[in-house]
Amino acid sequence: MEEAVALSRKCLGTGKGGPFGAVVVKDGQIVGRGSNSVTLLNDPTAHAEVMAIREACKNLGTFQLEGCEIYTSCEPCPMCMGAIYWARPERVYYAADRQDAARAGFDDSFIYEELDLPLMERKIISEQHDRAIAENVFQQWKNLDNKIDY
């Protein structure tokens, strides 16, 4: 946890991104580090957890983090929790919580509230189009013999 918080502290005043840091640990060794790089990379998905997951997967040569733990300086936002679930680590440890982040100006409550609304009531409207075309691609995927399931 100390390394995750140290990474968050390094973001202070750098213009790189918000004060967030994360590490991925496997067998007691750090295999991935990440700090918030949203403004540096002009990438709204460049959160600390996502950056740490990307580095860990690259270093481990895998797209899943089975047997790993993630330490993060703050409770992961909804996007990061989605990425964490896809990566499948065994556990997540966090220091500050979402209320601490909100008091510092990083309030994700809007996203949590939006996700509970029906699609047509959200601020960003989602509409389904051309389902049959996309569904055909899924059928082709199901029939592949050489696919890698995940």
What residues act catalytically? Answer: 49
Instruction: Say if CB 89 and CB 56 are below 8 A apart.
Output: no
